[in-house]
């Protein structure tokens, strides 16, 4: 049985627009337990930081190389479209 057949999923999210920090932090606080890994640079209005999210805990580091948000996700029995829809709601479109 393959990982995909077992229900494991990986997907990504990218945007060059900044994310609303308050909305993104709220998104992270409501991530389902089945989404156990998120990693990548996150662009906010005033800075970009590297996110390392594992098992419900976030670790942030300074990051100066990225001008966009580029996140990788790993989970089990997660509906990718729902996660991406919630992330798209965090994008600042001013």
Helix (H) or strand (E) run with residue 54 in it: strand 48-54
pTM score of the predicted model: 0.89
Question: Residue 21 and residue 55: Cα distance in Å, rounded?
Answer: 21
Whether 1 has a pLDDT exceeding 80, the answer reads: no
Q: Average of pLDDT values for 79-87?
A: 95
Q: 8-88 architecture in CATH?
A: 2-Layer Sandwich (3.30)
Task: Find residue 49's DSSP bridge partners.
Answer: 42, 62
CB 52 within 8 A of CB 39: yes
Question: Which of the two residues, 77 and 51, has the higher pLDDT score?
Answer: 51
Residue 93: CB atoms within 10 A of its CB come to 7
Identify the three-state secondary structure at position 77: coil
């Amino acid at each position: 049985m393959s990982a995909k057949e077992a229900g494991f999923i990986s997907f990504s999210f990218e945007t060059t627009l900044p994310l609303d920090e308050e909305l993104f932090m709220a998104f992270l606080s409501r991530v389902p337990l089945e989404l156990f890994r998120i990693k990548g640079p996150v662009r906010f209005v005033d800075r970009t930081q590297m996110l390392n999210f594992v098992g419900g805990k976030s670790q942030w580091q300074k990051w100066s190389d990225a001008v966009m948000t580029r996140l990788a996700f790993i989970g089990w029995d997660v509906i990718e479209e729902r996660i991406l829809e919630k992330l798209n709601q965090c994008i600042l479109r001013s």
